[in-house]
Structure 1
Amino acid sequence: MSKIAAITLMALFVSACNSVKVSDYASNTPKLDPEQFFDGKLTAHGVVKNFSGEVIRRFNADIAACWDDGVGTLDEDFIFDDGEKQKRIWTLRPAGDGTYNATAGDVVGEGKASWAGNAMFLKYVLRVPLDDDTIDLTIDDRMYLVNENILINESIMTKFGFKVGEIVLTIIRHPGGDAQCTPS
């Protein structure tokens, strides 16, 4: 085995052992309560980057978030800088172990959301249109509550274990605004 291959394997092993877990943030404040933060009117503002880190799209979104018997609905309307509009309606169902199962129309299967302290991690597979077909990307969302009304979200997109892009966005909660959620 060449020295380069050995060093690469060692780096992969070490990075796998140092993976950040949501529980690493358990003592951080302000504490994130998903049912409190994701409730009412929210807006999101962000960028999509390609694999090399170049910003390739910008977007804004209006989000209506509601809860009924512990089940959350996040009704998201995106507008991209090129005029494209997208809609995603998330359903968050308690899994009974302090996590949520997360589903949406363009999500393959169920995602898993967990939180601790000021952080919430959500991992899922997103089906994305590409030319005349679709591609399934694994999304690793990492959300961090900055204050009671602002959350920073960074998402790494991978395919076959390789990073193909990322999304960076800020979600702003607008207290006092009633939200009309579309049933999922």
Structure 2
Amino acid sequence: MDEQELNSLLICEIENQHIDYRLGDWNNQVAWVAPLLGLGGYEKNARPFDHAHELSHILNHDDYRGGDCDTTSPNESRAHREAILLLWDMFEKQGGDYSHFNLFIEITGCPYDFSYAIISKEFNEMYEAINEIFVDELNIKIKKEQIHKFAVDYISYFDIIESINIYNFLEAYNLNHSFYDLAEREFQELLGVA
């Protein structure tokens, strides 16, 4: 998806929110909306970030300005953040990922530093959540593989196997006794005993 297609999608979404959103010369304002009046406008050099920012104002029912200085307005900060996340979501759905971050910035017109801070935070939170979900499963898999290697090594020392003392096995490889059940199942599989 290129910048023009993205602009078209966002403009259509703004218009679907019952806003009369028009192209024009708006006295050096790249894009603006007044949700209460159902009006808005944009200049021809408006980027996807500008449209997504205004869409955020509409969706959050921001009907007033926080003051003359937009940089101190919580509505503006929220609109910036939500615009970046909306555009990032669209970028990912089109096959984009973190390795194409510069392309994302180029296509959307998002501010680099702010976008990097937000997206890297989202990535880190997602990464931590995935690790938290799968850490137990990964640990069990790793421990099962280790116990398998140890068990194969352990039985290679025997010429004839009459019985295996699992506690002796665990102590020989400095394994915690909590692995008793896992080791027992591994030996049963290796020796064909059910």
Which TM bucket (shorter chain)? under 0.3
TM-score by length of structure 1 reads 0.23
Higher RCO (C-alpha 8 Å, min separation 6): 1
TM-score by length of structure 2 reads 0.22
More strand by share: 1
* Structure with larger Rg: 2
